[in-house]
């Protein structure tokens, strides 16, 4: 693969087999469903959904900040 100009890359991902992952997935699914029920596009409100999923309640929250990283 190196001959083709590629290099190895190690990526760590969440373990989807854990109960914690299942609980977080359920919580975020509910938030998306609630946003969908209002008739608004959930995609346009992705940051607020993510903030609520992380436990943020207002602008002064201590929830961790997220940063979008585009990989090319």
CA–CA gap between residue 37 and residue 14 (Å, rounded): 28
Do 49 and 31 contact (CB within 8 A), yes or no? yes
Q: Tens digits of per-residue pLDDT, 1-54?
A: 889 999 999 999 999 999 999 999 999 899 888 877 777 665 655 566 666 666
pLDDT value of position 32: 82
Per-residue pLDDT, averaged over 60-68, amounts to 54
pLDDT value of position 27: 92
Number of residues assigned to the chain: 72
pLDDT value of position 38: 74
Give the residue, 16 or 65, on which the prediction is more confident.
16
Cβ-based neighbour number of residue 52 at 10 Å: 19
**Domain boundaries of the chain, sorted by first residue:** 2-71
Do 52 and 45 contact (CB within 8 A), yes or no? no
């Amino acid at each position: 693969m190196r001959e083709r100009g590629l290099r190895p890359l190690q990526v760590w991902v969440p373990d989807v087999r854990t109960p914690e992952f299942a609980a977080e997935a359920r919580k975020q699914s509910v938030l998306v469903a609630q946003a969908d029920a209002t008739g608004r596009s959930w995609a346009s409100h992705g940051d607020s959904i993510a903030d609520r999923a992380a436990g943020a309640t207002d602008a002064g929250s201590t929830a961790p900040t997220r940063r979008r990283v585009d990989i090319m």
